[in-house]
Structure 1
Amino acid sequence: MSAPAFGLLLDVDGPIASPVSRTVAVESIGRDLVLMANAGIPVIFNTGRSDAFIAEQVVPVLRAAELEPATPVYTVSEKGAVWAEVTPEGLGEVSVDAELKLPDALSEDVRELVAERFSELMFFDETKRAMVSVEQHVHVPSERYLRAQEEFDAAVPALLKKHGLEEVRIDPTIISTDVEHQRLGKDLGASRSLELLAERDIHPQAWYTMGDSRTDYAMADWLHEQGHTVRHVDVRPADGVPETEYPVLVSETGAIHDEAGAEFLHRWAASL
């Protein structure tokens, strides 16, 4: 088997799913992802999202675009703690790293915290298997959510202390907060991704990574450190593009989020 010309490691919120609607809203995204996957290009969703989100929001789009069986498509969810193959029928067997799973008692306390103080602005994500997450309600204005998020984030350390949890960090995004084991991250997701492909003797010649935040650079950093050729796409460069030892690409049209993601996916699909 010849090595694929490239592989894709894709954050989901932002580049693939709209951070506004939380759906795959740009029609060409599913079509171009499937065109590449059916041609043997590895497509891996390296995301903080749960496997349930991928099953509900991403798999139907790929199915509609006629994803073929046995394509090299995976989700590495919850920043490396959970992983599964993506098929036209749905997800294969879901694996969870038990060492990185936060205790159920913490989940219960965070759920209660949200219910008592923040339920009008955010919800507890019941689909997470390893981390503990809350997310902005779609109908809530961003500025209102972000004010409440600061208050929520400030309340979490007391819960971590209550449960004697030290190797845990609080990671806020523009629409959510993840409470997670400190080993989780897009670099761990990248490592898991290559392990999954190696099990099938798939070794891409190069990589494209894509994300909408500074933390997403960690997957490109890891690939570069391991000696892989990589280019990173930043679909929300307003946060500032850091200096890197590999190329960083941004939309030439000024598009951001999933519209920028769609531009690059279409370009790569057309290159095959």
Structure 2
Amino acid sequence: MTGQAARSGGSGHAAIIAPFGLLLDVDGPIASPESRTIAHPSIVADLLTLAHAGVPVAFVTGRSDAFMREQVVSRLLEHGMRDDAALFGVFEKGGAWAPITAAGLGEVQLDPSVAIPAEARAEVETIARDRFDHAMFVDEGKRVMVSLEQRVDVSSEIYRGAQEKFEEAAFAALADRGLGIRHGDRVSADSDGAVPFRIDPTIISTDIESVRLDKDHGAERAIHWFASRGVTAPRWYSVGDSRSDYLMADHVHAVGLEAVHVDVRPADGVLDRPYPIDVRGDLVHDAAGADFLRERVAALR
């Protein structure tokens, strides 16, 4: 089946077997890392073409549900998303999730077991606001993690200097609290000897999060959600700009499905994996993401 999704099954709800599924990071392949918006003109239309053809599309992101609602879901609705589209959102690397429907983002569900303790959250957010607000801001939409993001009016050079100092201050504050925190090679265990949280930097942000949250966790949740509604695919393409995004394809491969990972920022180093890695020539970030989506649309014909 190379065109639209096939249906099979007897009584009850028919299973939908799509030609492939998509697991999409948002920052980088979908939203421009400069503007933090969907800037490439073809991306929204191609996402909808794929979803309307029965391709299961999951956004697996560290972003909040608020960001997704404002910057991604609103654009899909503006371009005529239909009720029959198969779209799902996993936010905060698996800490929150919701269906995406023609009525908008559905009810957001949370996993409270991975949430940063409220007092620890308040302390590191205060550090960011009081000492580093010239370079970063607190993402107020996060529910289970803490995220500090580069201001769009600040150069990457200025941000990187502030980011490094903030992470040092945050690590010290959380270690003093006995939280159990990891930052790179530095580890401070809690009173039980456990390290349940980590500081995870990206090129535009710093996340302080549970070690149980990552892109493989998000991919598992997305594929399970589709499967529980009778939607499956033999092959899943994951698309991302960070080395951690490979974890989506790692999960797909581990459960015995065909995995292909599209790396839209290969300059950071293409990882050695037992499944194909797709690089879009000289294209990077959302230009590479748009090129990949356009290719997938063509494959439906």
TM-score interval w.r.t. the shorter chain? over 0.9
Residue of 54, 58, 61 corresponding to 1:44: 58
Cα separation, 1, equivalents of 2:177 and 2:100: 35
Residue of 161, 169, 189 corresponding to 2:175: 161
Per-residue CA distance 1:67-124 (angstroms, 9 max, x = gap): 1114210110000110001122221010000101111112211121012110010001
Cα separation, 1, equivalents of 2:74 and 2:299: 25
Cα separation, 1, equivalents of 2:145 and 2:54: 32
Aligned position for 1:249 = 278
Q: Kindly report the root-mean-square deviation, in angstroms, between the aligned alpha carbons of the 2 structures.
A: 1.0
2:23 matches 1:21: no
8 Å contact kept, 2:125–2:146? no
Residue of 68, 87, 92 corresponding to 2:101: 87
Aligned position for 1:64 = 78
Instruction: After superposing the two structures, state which structure 1 stretch, 5-14 or 64-73, moved more.
Output: 64-73
8 Å contact kept, 2:48–2:85? no
For the residue of structure 1 that corresponds to 2:231, the secondary structure is coil
Deviation at 1:65, TM superposition (A): 2.1
TM-score (norm 1): 0.97
Query: Number of aligned pairs?
Result: 271
Aligned position for 1:206 = 235
Q: Which runs of 5+ in 2 are unaligned?
A: 1-6, 8-15, 181-195
Aligned position for 1:97 = 111
Cα separation, 2, equivalents of 1:199 and 1:20: 36
8 Å contact kept, 1:59–1:88? no
Cα separation, 2, equivalents of 1:175 and 1:152: 13
Percent identity of the aligned residues?
51
8 Å contact kept, 1:37–1:71? yes
For the residue of structure 2 that corresponds to 1:151, the secondary structure is helix
Aligned position for 1:268 = 296
Cα separation, 1, equivalents of 2:123 and 2:210: 17
For the residue of structure 2 that corresponds to 1:221, the secondary structure is helix
For the residue of structure 2 that corresponds to 1:75, the secondary structure is strand
8 Å contact kept, 1:15–1:262? yes
The structure with more radius of gyration? 2
For the residue of structure 1 that corresponds to 2:18, the secondary structure is coil
Structure 1 stretches of at least 4 aligned residues deviating more than 4 Å after TM superposition:
none
Aligned position for 2:260 = 231
Instruction: After superposing the two structures, state which structure 1 stretch, 191-200 or 46-55, moved more.
Output: 191-200
Per-residue CA distance 1:199-253 (angstroms, 9 max, x = gap): 201111210000001010011111111111010000000011011100000112x
Deviation at 1:10, TM superposition (A): 0.3
Q: Which runs of 5+ in 1 are unaligned?
A: none
Q: What pairs up with 1:187-206 in 2 under 5 angstroms?
A: 187-206=216-235
